[in-house]
Amino acid sequence: MTAAPPPSASPSSSAPGGLQRRLGLGAAVVIGLGSMIGAGVFSAFAPAAAAAGDLLLVSLLIAGVVAFCNATSTAQLAAQHPTSGGAYAFGRERLGEWPGFVAGWGFVVGKTASCAAMATTAAVALVPDPWTRPAALLLVVAVTALNAAGITRTAAATAVIVAAVLAALVLVVVVVGSAPPGVGAVVDAASGAGGAGGAGGAADGAGGAGAGPTPVAVLQGAGLLFFAFAGYARIATLAEEVRRPSVTIPRAVVIALSAALVVYAAVALVLLRALGSAGTAASQRPLVDAVEAAGAGWLAPVVAVATGVAASGALLALVAGIGRTSLAMAREGDLPRGLAVVDARRGVPLRAELVLAAVVGVLVLTVDLRGVIGASSFGVLVYYLVANVAALTQTGEHRRWPRVLPVLGAVACVALVVTLPLASVLAAAAVFVVGVLGRLVVLRRRRGSPGAGRGSRTTGL
């Protein structure tokens, strides 16, 4: 293993001892899809419908617009700065060390919790209860081993997972879509239900039974759906491993996001057809209930397995993205420099991924983090806020999309904070405070250490 140097000045070549440019357009798109078509497509529609009622599709449209704004900012930055780290690297390069650190810290901590949540979600869907935690640990080990084998192996495994999940979803859409409308959909049409009534807590903000959803409730539905498929940034975190990044990354991000939006729209339509908005909001397993309402109960086990497989694919992409962001932060001393190591043979940040696996392994064995996704979502919003503000500083040939898009993206990131539970916001804020205070302590120690100030790279932990 060798300490990874900063990326090569040439975006088409690989730096000696660094990550290798092995991914083409197809592999980048697949990794993006693996991040977006995860467990969210099976679970996000119930709370979104509870908030937005029969305006669920409006919420999905808003989520798609917000996602497009954030995606174009991320792609534009990655094309100019084709290095690992995503918004951490972009924020540091264009806005300064602190904005970059805040984005990176929120991403690494929040997504580490998400890793544990995805592993547990997959295990719950695939194995009986007594074996859930051991199965989650085995899944973490297997995913880490796949990632450690090299980025091309990660892409190949993700392609298999995405193909399997898409096949299951297409089957569900065709079967449910060709069946007569379900009772819930007929009731919605007859009553003109706007919100989901008493189907869920979020529906209370939708105006109550018989009233249409409020704009805030529709925005809340949009936020829930946005968080479900906001994985396109994973492509940007792998920018140092993509061939011809200035061309490949913008195309990959747009293609992957467009495909994910089509999938989510199709699923939303069949759920509303089979269950209606109230039935979707009240369901613990919307797709399972939809196939049963369509008289295709034989598909329920397929949906359950697809849920576990999709969560596994999301975990695979998360580990890859966190590993690269940790590598970038370690290079700059914002994480221990010992993590800034790339395996010479496999071309992966092996040490960072092994440390991540150890942390996630402990988490899945000791706590159930499926309920902390709200706190992770706060970190996602901060991450994209930094990316949008950084994109606003780009000029000339590096500006690929209108300036209004990063402006809308930044405003939307702030607006979507209102969709998060207060407890999640406070928990996430505490995590950021810990990170900021920790960095302040480290910086003070560095300034007082012998040799401080002799060079810009004497900041290792």
pTM, two decimals, is 0.87
Q: Residue 344's pLDDT is what?
A: 86
| Structure confidence at residue 353 (pLDDT) | 97
- The number of angstroms, rounded, from the C-alpha of 405 to the middle of its chain's C-alpha atoms is 20
Cα–Cα separations (whole angstroms), residue 84 to 78, 216, 242, 326: 9, 36, 10, 9
pLDDT of residue 96: 96
**DSSP letter string over 119-175?**
HHHHHHHHS-GGGHHHHHHHHHHHHHHHHHT-HHHHHHHHHHHHHHHHHHHHHHHHH
Mean pLDDT, rounded, of the chain = 87
- Residue pair 206/195 in contact (Cβ under 8 Å)? The answer is yes
Q: Kindly tell me if the per-residue pLDDT of 246 is higher than 80.
A: yes
Task: Tell me if 340 sits within 8 A of 84, measured CB to CB.
Answer: no
pLDDT tier, 372 (very low <50, low <70, confident <90, very high otherwise): confident
**Averaged pLDDT, 261-277:** 95
Instruction: Answer for the pair 27, 255: CB distance below 8 angstroms, yes or no.
Output: no
Tokens matching residue 427 = 């928990």
pLDDT above 90 for 298 = yes
pLDDT band at 5 (very low <50, low <70, confident <90, very high): low
Region 410-430 average pLDDT:
88
Q: What's the pLDDT band for 168 if we cut at 50, 70, 90?
A: very high
Q: Compute the average pLDDT of residues 52-65.
A: 94
Higher pLDDT, 428 or 460: 428
Task: Tell me: pLDDT of 30 over 80.
Answer: yes
Average pLDDT over residues 320-349: 93
Residues 353-367: what's their mean pLDDT?
A: 95
Portion of the chain with pLDDT greater than 90, in percent: 68
Is the model more confident about 420 or about 145? Answer: 145
- pLDDT confidence tier of residue 58, bands split at 50, 70 and 90: very high
- 127 or 421: whose pLDDT is higher? 127
pLDDT of residue 188: 53
Check pLDDT > 80 for residue 31: yes
Direct distance between the N- and C-terminal alpha carbons of the chain, in angstroms, rounded to an integer: 19
Q: Which of 388, 343, 351, 299 is nearest to 95 (CA)?
A: 388
Residue-level pLDDT at 3: 57
Query: Percent of the chain at pLDDT above 70?
Result: 87
pLDDT for the residue numbered 457 = 46
pLDDT of res. 322:
95
Is residue 410 scored above 90 in pLDDT? yes
76-97 pLDDT, tens digit per residue, is: 999 999 998 999 999 999 999 9
pLDDT classification of 423: cutoffs 50, 70, 90: confident
Using N-to-C axis directions, what is the helix angle for 245-274 and 151-178, rounded to 10°? 30
Give the per-residue pLDDT at 229: 78
Question: What is the predicted pLDDT for the residue at 203?
Answer: 43
Rg of the chain (C-alpha set): 22
| Poorest-pLDDT segment among 25-29, 110-114, 288-292 | 110-114
368, 120 contact by CB (below 8 A): yes
DSSP letters for 55-68: GHHHHHHHHHHHHH
User: How confident is the model at residue 210, as a pLDDT?
Assistant: 53
The pLDDT of residue 427 is 87
CB within 8 Å of 66: residues ≥ 6 apart:
222, 226, 408, 409, 412, 413, 416
- The phi, psi pair for 368, rounded to 5°, reads -105, 110
